[in-house]
Structure 1
Amino acid sequence: MGDESYNFVFKVVLIGESGVGKSNLLSRFTKNEFNHDSRTTIGVEFSTRTVQLDTFTIKAQIWDTAGLERYRAITSAYYRGAVGAMLVYDITKHLTYESVERWLKELYDHADPHILVMLVGNKSDLETLRTVPTVEAKEFAEKKGLLFMETSALDSTNVEAAFQEVLTGSYYVALVLHTFVYKTLDNSMPCESLLFFCVHLSAVHLLCDVCVHDVNISVTPSDPQEGGQSRGDPRVNQCRDPVQCYWNG
């Protein structure tokens, strides 16, 4: 596939402290490579990879920069135009996790308010050296409305899944924000996709009423009295837990 054979370019930024493995996550996803002698990134670099989402080809442009304070002057330009962000910490170094709040503030200060963010605990291959419990990080992510995943750039664990989830979520957010749904999907959409819309829109602080206004969707919690079964419009597939989707049109 040629470099110009794509429908959209999605910029995703990697942020977090120096040494957490951002550059190797970039290399693993875009080139399937790992550099054991990886040096601290100076300035900014990016790599690209094309992925297929629904009927569209997305050119993923993954940006990486150093986490050192002296390079933070490039912040505004670095975040400009990003639709997704992966906030990376090292599961073996608690200090890198403690800095997540600061990085999150910087991200929201400079990035688009609709940016989709995933908290990434990297170096999961070093389980015996872990200092950041998975449960603690996951609860933090849920509290802040972030996606969450633990990865290992060394052995490839969850690297593909993490990037794919960020890109897919960003894609659906873009569809809603630009009201592409009716045009591209001809008024019909699998209910699991509607669920993905609303769950992840909530995750980036776009309340589900955005879905209602722009896409004519409403979402309510699944009723445990009904055994957790979700309901959906009979014209589309059944919704899945933990929410119920209702097509209002």
Structure 2
Amino acid sequence: MGDTYDYLFKIILVGDQAVGKTSLVRRFTTGKFQQEYKTTIGVDFTVQTLQLDGKIVKLQIWDTTGQERFKSLTTGYFRNAHAALVVYDVTNTDSLNNCVRWMNDVSMYSGQDIPKILLGNKCDKLSGRTVSSSDGEHFARQHDMMSFSETSAKDGRNVDDAFYKLAQELSRTYFDSMDYRSDSIRLDSLPDNTASWWGCCGY
């Protein structure tokens, strides 16, 4: 598809360390899962191109670290984001509670109230779950999030759906929008260092 596209959207992934943000990105972009990943230091960046309804949609996916000591670095990359995937671990209640802080950071540093989707990752785990699906649903509704779904980077459950449906909704929302045209980020300008839907596990 080259560098030709109809839409270009910047999506950021936020959440605590070790909730599986990098694994979700790798599963979506490569279709593979690695049991062990190096901890993201700062920000990782990748691009994925999709064909939706006859349009070419390019996603800039920014995987940010969950480590507090890198906050001053990562929050600078929130600017001009079109949407955020807020990720928690279904075996870690604190990671869900901390999503409030992550959403506040996104709103503060992105400069706008962008759509936020809640993903409860690691739903493949048969033991150790501390956050139920209903807990995730309630959290998403309480905080007026765009959608909620449980995902598994390990077996691929709902991962592609999350990204595709987000891309579809953004394409509809920003169709012929001046805000989209002014806020889009061209790939050649990146720094060198670098519709509501509910999944089958949602409501």
Q: Calculate the TM-score normalised by the size of structure 1.
A: 0.69
In 2, Cα distance between equivalents of 1:153 and 1:94 = 19
In 2, Cα distance between equivalents of 1:172 and 1:144 = 23
In 1, Cα distance between equivalents of 2:122 and 2:179 = 38
Confirm or deny: 8 A CA contact 1:115 1:170 kept in the other structure: no
* Deviation of the 1:179 alpha carbon: 8.8
**Amino acid corresponding to residue 21 of structure 1 in structure 2:** G
Confirm or deny: 8 A CA contact 1:23 1:64 kept in the other structure: yes
* Deviation of the 1:99 alpha carbon: 0.4
* Deviation of the 1:103 alpha carbon: 0.7
The residue correspondences of 1:154-233 to structure 2 (distance < 5 A) are 154-175=154-175, 177-178=177-178, 196=195
Confirm or deny: 8 A CA contact 2:10 2:80 kept in the other structure: yes
| Matched residue, 1:9 | 8
* Deviation of the 1:176 alpha carbon: 6.8
| Structure with greater contact order relative to length (CA < 8 Å, sep ≥ 6) | 2
Q: Is 1:36 paired with 2:13?
A: no
* Deviation of the 1:54 alpha carbon: 2.2
In 1, Cα distance between equivalents of 2:111 and 2:151 = 26
Bigger-Rg structure (1/2): 1
Structure 2 residue runs of 5 or longer lacking an equivalent are 181-194, 198-203
How large is the Cα RMSD of the aligned pairs? 1.9
* Number of positions where the alignment pairs a residue of Structure 1 with one of Structure 2: 182
The residue correspondences of 1:120-159 to structure 2 (distance < 5 A) are 120-146=119-145, 147-159=147-159
Structure 1 residue runs of 5 or longer lacking an equivalent are 181-195, 201-249
Q: Calculate the TM-score normalised by the size of structure 2.
A: 0.83
In 1, Cα distance between equivalents of 2:178 and 2:54 = 17
Q: Which moved more, 1:85-94 or 1:160-169?
A: 160-169
* Deviation of the 1:76 alpha carbon: 3.7
| Matched residue, 1:67 | 66
In 2, Cα distance between equivalents of 1:55 and 1:114 = 29
